[in-house]
Structure 1
Amino acid sequence: MVTTDSIRRSSARIAQMPSFALSVLWFLIHLVISIFFIVLGIADAVENYLISSGFLKRYDAINVGKLRYLAIVVDSEDAMQINKALKLLQWLTDIGVKHVCLYDSEGVLKKSKEIILERLSCAKLYEEGDEKSVLDSKTMIIEFTSQSDGKEALVRAANLLLKRLRSLGENQEEKIFTEAQMTEALKAVGSGGPEPDLLLVYGPARCHLGFPAWRLRYTEIVHMGPLDSMKYGSLLKSIYNFTLVRQNYGK
């Protein structure tokens, strides 16, 4: 009887060994990954400090002229921090960015545009056609937009295309609209807008959060993390890296 109980206990211990080994392995993997991200965070913080302090000289001379239009996408909860948004815009002014599009899905920044423009004396509101003189402007031009603007634009453009479709009569071949015609329709209803060269996303999500997709055909997208923890060095690095990218648009 004693022998049988010993065998059962030994069998139970052996059965538990794979589970224990997996737990140890999982703990070690988790520990290694945690240490990796801690080291990565420290390295990033040191790099941001060096960039902000001017120790890394390669960031002193950025070809900002290559960045014609910059889009900033902010999570709607982060967008309520107007002071943070103002600080970000002031950084962009110091860097020399001429045209900025501010976007959040619920239009929080758009509702506060009077406050932003009042407190940022070196900026003016974007108007249709301003993109032709942006590079020669001494002030920053700011465009405010939200998800509702994109939806309304699609509805107006669709109605315009529908009217054109009805005017074509029975000509089936011409009832297929091209991308160029859709772009023309969006511009006709006043919602074309310039296509950003670079889009910076501030928020937890790694996506454009509903920014008009028809304006992102050739846009570089970079996730910057929460607006609350934004860093000047990180902003400068993202713009610098963009200026080094060679974009091929095809023929």
Structure 2
Amino acid sequence: MALLYALVLRLLHALLALKAKLQRGLVRWDSLGLAWKRRRPRRAFAGGRGRGKGVGGADGDDVGGDEEEEGRRGLEMARHDGRALRKLPVHVGLVLSEAAGAERGVRDVANAVLWCVALGVSYVSVFDARGMLKETNGRLMEEVLRQQREQLGSDWSKRKVEFVDDQSAEALLQGTPALKGFPDPDLVLRFGRVESTLGYPPWQLHLAEIIPVGPLQGLCYEDLHSAMRGFAECEQRFGK
């Protein structure tokens, strides 16, 4: 089973949803849709910003200031980078396969969601194959809202966040148009070392580009931006 979290954002509105039953959740942010799924592709381990180092521990088990600082840095860059991309996905799915520390994982996922939002993505979905987010009892939603308020500032202060009920979240996962206008993902970012979408509904992936990103732990903005650039530069022929 999988924990689905959907965060929806459009212009003045965003949608985030959480289904805290087994592995799914969904949250709604007004008119636009953002859906995300937990699981993560591979990422480069050498060079650039160091990964996996939290305050008080070399392996990143302790939640420290690194994720906070990286989140702020990434948001500043994303606000400008989004305008430079030739095209943006409408719906980004985040698929998570690895077991990161729950608290740290929440911050890394929250960073990824808000970076997508700042780049201009309308829908973000998180597909949690291992149920990590379920263990945090809604902390992902709290963290996204906190960072949205503290880091995105007054420009986002009027955005309203609503939570979608379990029935709507389940219907969305099963491909039922429970949420009007909520599209299938056109880009899926896979986090972790497993080369699989781990149960992500295949009927929602028929037109999606699937790009591996790397480990979730210690996620840095450049990893996500690189995947976005790859999507912007690819030519989707849709079978032609």
Question: What is the TM-score with the length of structure 2 in the denominator?
Answer: 0.50
Indicate the structure whose relative CO is greater, using CA pairs within 8 Å and at least 6 residues apart. Answer: 2
Question: More strand per residue: 1 or 2?
Answer: 2
Question: More helix per residue: 1 or 2?
Answer: 1
Larger Rg: 1
